[in-house]
Amino acid sequence: MPTREAYFEVLQSVKVRPCPRRSIIAPNRLEIRNEEFLTAFLNLSLSRPLLKLREKLQSITGRENIFFAPSCRAALAQLLATLPQKDVVLPAYTCPVVKKAAILAGKNIIYVDVAKNSINSTSEEFAKEIKSGRILIPTHLYGIPTDVEAICNLAKTKSCLTIEDAAAAFGSRRMGKMLGTFGDAGVISFEQSKRLPAFRGAAIIINNEKAFDLEKLRTFKLFDLKFQLPMSETAKAVLYNLATVPWIYGRLTLPLILKKYSKANQPQPQNLFEAARNSPFYLRGFHPFQAALILAMLKRFENIRTRIGQLVSIYRQILKDSNIRTFIPADIDESGLLRFPIAFPGRERLEILSQALLRGLFLEINYDQPLPEKEDWSKFPNARWAAQNVILLPLYARLCPEKAAVLAKEVVQLSH
């Protein structure tokens, strides 16, 4: 949990009471509303949510073959394990569970750096590691599209396959086409930090039927799945909705989080296979209740997208004349972003986080280390820079534009 480790260091250096007790914007709020848990529950017996969600995704993506999985990491492991190719090419800066999924699937990983001033690996970086018979994993980190069409074209010239990691990019479009529908297969995530959170879960989109043995994919099991109504997850999500109301977040939730973060966390080294065997992200089958939740959110999806688009343009406008670095290309689908990454060149991130905290801003960071082994980090300077510098601004529909503008202006103040 990188945010925890970063704040442990921040809290060691802050001598005064770190968090002013006032309304504070949470780094994330769920798009799902409490009343939708009830609607979804009632719809369970009346409709067939899994079937309906599959049909809905078929119509959104224009693809026939859509499979559900316990999580995106499980989906990636499943896709990779059913393919004979040995080598997988991954961005050196992405979600670490992707690396673990590739290892679980028995693959050999080759990394590519991210592009300069970007958080994604583009066709230029993938071109350096393209060799016949490899699997490429183009990734749209935080919902920011990479040049996936160019990566797919490159892959075709060398008989490589592409699995598009659109975990964080549900609904985002590039050249009018949904992300996740470019690669030979695409994956999207319904984990709780994503745009359509349903505790966990993922969809696999097959874009090229010839590239996969669909029967094998349908029946393949990394572990035996359990299908249970996610009761405790629902209770936690209802509580999370309450705990992230800014008034409560600043006065109660964040002080509790900071108290926890101020104690050193010593993660126990665990065998990868053992950890996966005990993880709901690999074990819990995608339940009809989760499908019903996603269907409920999809009814409001255009409104959600409109709000995200507004927030992104506010951030862009306010940050544009500052010396804060933003990573959003000019011509993208702004409504498809999951977070708004920024960095303060020439400044220590820890110093920014601690100054922010004293002003009542709790800023999120993620993926604080590049994925290659430490002795190889020097080969991936851009990934390393991104891992050490990127800070994420929140993007969720419950964040009102006025509050986002205030937040962005405070962030600009931090850069002086």
Ligand X SMILES: Cc1ncc(COP(=O)(O)O)c(C=O)c1O
Task: List interacting residues with ligand X (CB under 6 A).
Answer: 71-73, 94-95, 97-98, 139, 141, 165, 167-168, 189, 191, 202, 281
What backbone phi and psi angles, to 5 degrees, belong to 341? Answer: -75, 140
Least distance from C-beta 90 to ligand X, angstroms? 10
Residue closer to ligand X by CB (options 212, 367) is: 367
Closest contact distance (angstroms) between CB of 281 and ligand X is: 5
Residues linked to residue 136 through DSSP beta bridges, in sequence order: 89, 162
Neighbours of 323 (CB within 10 A): 12
| Closest among 92, 122, 90 to 107, alpha carbons compared | 90
Nearer to ligand X, 202 or 206 (CB): 202
Q: Which residue, 43 or 162, has its beta carbon nearer to ligand X?
A: 162
As measured in angstroms, the least distance from the Cβ of 108 to ligand X is: 19
Alpha carbons 171 and 126: distance in angstroms, whole number: 24
**What is the gyration radius of the CA atoms in the chain, in angstroms?**
21
- Kindly tell me which of 104 and 295 has the beta carbon lying closer to ligand X: 104
Report the sign of the C-alpha dihedral through residues 194, 196, 200, 205, in that order: negative
Contacts of 251 (CB under 8 A, 6+ apart): 21, 22, 23
Structural contact between residues 294 and 31, judged by C-beta atoms closer than 8 angstroms: no
CB of 386 to ligand X, least distance (A): 13
Our CB check for ligand X shows the closer of 371 and 404 to be 371
Residue nearest to ligand X (CB): 72
| CB atoms closer than 10 angstroms to residue 339 | 22
Residue 409: φ, ψ to 5°: -65, -40
Q: CB of 1: closest distance to ligand X in angstroms? A: 12
141 versus 357: smaller Cβ distance to ligand X = 141
CA distance 66 to 50: 11
Shortest distance, position 201 Cβ to ligand X, whole Å: 7
